[in-house]
Amino acid sequence: MSESKENIKIFTLLEVTKSIERTLANRYKSSYWIKAEMNKLNYYPHSGHCYPSLVEKRDGKVIAEIRGVLWKTDYLRINKRFQEILKEPLKDGIKILFLARISYNPTHGLSLIISDIDPSFTLGDLEKEKQETIKRLHKEGVFHKNQQLNFPLLPQRIAIISVETSKGYADFLKIIQNNSWNYKFFLHLFPALLQGDKAAERISHQLERIKKVKHHFDVVAIIRGGGGEVGLSCYNNYELATQIADFPIPVVTGIGHATNETVSEMVAFSNAITPSKLAQFLLQKFHDFSVPVQEAERKLKDKSQRILKDEKTRFHSEIKLFRSLTENVLNTNRSKIANTAASLVQQVRFRFKNEDGVLRDYVFNIGRNSNFSIDQSKLNIIQIKDKLFSKTENQLQQSELILDNIEKNIHNMDPKNVLKRGYSITRFNGKAIKEISEIKPGDLLQTIIFDGVVESTVTKTK
C-alpha cells in the first residue's frame, strides 16, 4: 500500500493510525486498574455517553493527561452505585480508581475505555480531602472563627442563600413568616445553586455579595432541602468552608441531610440540619428574647405590687406601733400627772397642817409672851409711877424752898423797901431819869419817896 518516491517511503494517515491501532491492540490486550483524577466528566446528555478528561497532577501541575470514554450503560450503572455509596454522583474533580482498556481509534485517537469505577476509592479520597480541609482550617485558625462571633440577640435580618423554587426554602418561609407570635423578620434571598459541581462557586459568589451589604443583616442562612442526600461534597470544599468560617456575621445552615456533617456545616455558627429546624432555631432566638421581656413585665408588675403592699403593711404596723407607743407615753404621763397631783394635794395638806401648827404655836406664844410683856410693862409703869411721884414730890419741895428764898430776895429788893431805906426815884413824863441830859430847867419832875410824891421844878442842872 505504501508508495516510494525518491527512496523515501510515504504512508497515508490511515496506514499510520491503523498501525498504531494494531500495535497497541497487540501490546495492551487486557484491562487495567488505573488511578487518576477525573478533571471533567464531560457528560453528553444527548448521547448519554461521557468522555472524561483524566489527569495526574504533581504539585498542582498536570503531568499526564488522557481522554476517557464511558459508555452510556456503564455510566448509568456506575453513577447509580456512586450515588448509593458516596451520596454523590460522578462528577468533575474527583479521584477515581477505574478499570479500563487502552483503545486507539484512527479518528478519535487514544482513549481509555472505562468499564468500571470503584466508588470506595473515591469515597476514601473524598473523605481524605474532607479531613484535610478540616485539618487545614484548624491549622489556619479559622475553624471556630464564625462560632466565636456574637450571635445577635435577635437574628431578625436574614440573608438567605437558597433556590427560590426549592422545597426547603418554602418550608423555611412558611415557618418564619406564619409564626403565630407575630415576630417580624426581614428576609432577602441571594439565589444560588446548592448542590453539585457549581454549588461551591455560586455560594461563594453570593457570600461575597452579602459581605458587601453585611451591615443590613444579622445572619446568613444557607438553606437547601428536598434535594436528597446527594451532591453535598461541595460543602467540604476548602474555599467555601474557609469563607463561611471567616465570614464577618454568623452563618447558619439547614442544608437538609442526616449523615456525615460537611465541613461547611461544621464551621458554620450553627447547623440546624433541615430548613424547618433552622427556622425553628431562629424563632427560638426570638423566644429567648421575648420570654424574658414578658417575664420582666410580669415580674415587674408582681414585684412592684408586692413592694407596695409590703410597704403599706409596714406603714400600717408602724402606725399601729406609733399609736400604741404614744398611748403608752400618754398613759404613763397621765398617771404621772395624777400621782403628782395626788402627792401635791397630800403635801399641801401636810404643809397646811404643819403651818397651822406653827401658827398655833405662834398664837400661843404671842398670847403668852404678850401677857408677860403686858405684866412686865404694868410693873414698869407702876414702878415709873411710884418713881414719878417720889421724884415730883422732891422736886416740889426743892422748888418751894428755892421759891421761898427767891421771895425773900424779892422782898428785900422791892423798891418800896429800898425807898424805905431813903432812896427815891425821879421821873419825867412818867419815865425814870437816869441821865442828867434827859432834863432841862423848867421841866416838871415827880420824885417818888417811901410814903409820897414830891413835885418839883428844875431850876438848874449841873
Partner 1 sequence: MSETIKYTEAFEELQNIVLEIEQGEISVDVLSEKVKRAAALIKICKRKLTTTEEDVNQILKELDAPNEGS
Burial 235-270 (b: 16+ CB within 10 A, else e): bbbbebbbbbbbbebbbbbbbbbeeebbbbbbbbbb
Residues 284-313 contacting partner 1, CB under 8 A: 286, 289-290, 292-293, 295-297, 299-300, 303-304, 307-308, 311
Q: CB of 274: closest distance to partner 1 in angstroms?
A: 24
Pick from 153, 363, 379, 453 the residue near partner 1 by CB under 8 A. 153
At residue 138, φ and ψ (nearest 5 deg) are: -65, -45
Which range of residues in 21-29, 154-162, 377-385, 400-408 is near partner 1 by CB under 8 A? 154-162
Cβ distance to partner 1 smaller for residue 241 or 252: 252
Q: CB of 98: closest distance to partner 1 in angstroms?
A: 44
- Name, in order, each residue with C-beta under 8 angstroms of 263's C-beta and a sequence gap of 6 or more: 130, 133, 134, 137, 235, 236, 237, 238, 241
Q: CB of 177: closest distance to partner 1 in angstroms?
A: 13
Q: What is the DSSP letter of 266?
A: H
Residues 156-195 contacting partner 1, CB under 8 A: 156-157, 181-186, 188
Question: Can you state the angle between helices 167-177 and 275-413, rounded to 10 degrees?
Answer: 20
Which grid cell is 76? 448509568
Q: Binding to partner 1 by residue 319, rule CB under 8 A?
A: no
Helix (H) or strand (E) holding 94: strand 94-105
Residue 222 pairs with which residues in a beta bridge? 161, 253
Q: CB of 95: closest distance to partner 1 in angstroms?
A: 38
Count the site residues for partner 1 by CB under 8 A.
Answer: 33
Q: How far apart are CA 271 and CA 142, in angstroms?
A: 17
Q: CB of 31: closest distance to partner 1 in angstroms?
A: 54
Cβ distance to partner 1 smaller for residue 75 or 172: 172
Pick from 115, 214, 281, 419 the residue near partner 1 by CB under 8 A. 214
Q: How far apart are CA 434 and CA 410, in angstroms?
A: 22
Cβ distance to partner 1 smaller for residue 63 or 181: 181
Which grid cell is 254? 439547614
Q: CB of 220: closest distance to partner 1 in angstroms?
A: 13
Q: How far apart are CA 268 and CA 143, in angstroms?
A: 9
Q: CB of 73: closest distance to partner 1 in angstroms?
A: 47
Residues that bind partner 1 (CB under 8 A): 152-154, 156-157, 181-186, 188, 209, 212-216, 286, 289-290, 292-293, 295-297, 299-300, 303-304, 307-308, 311
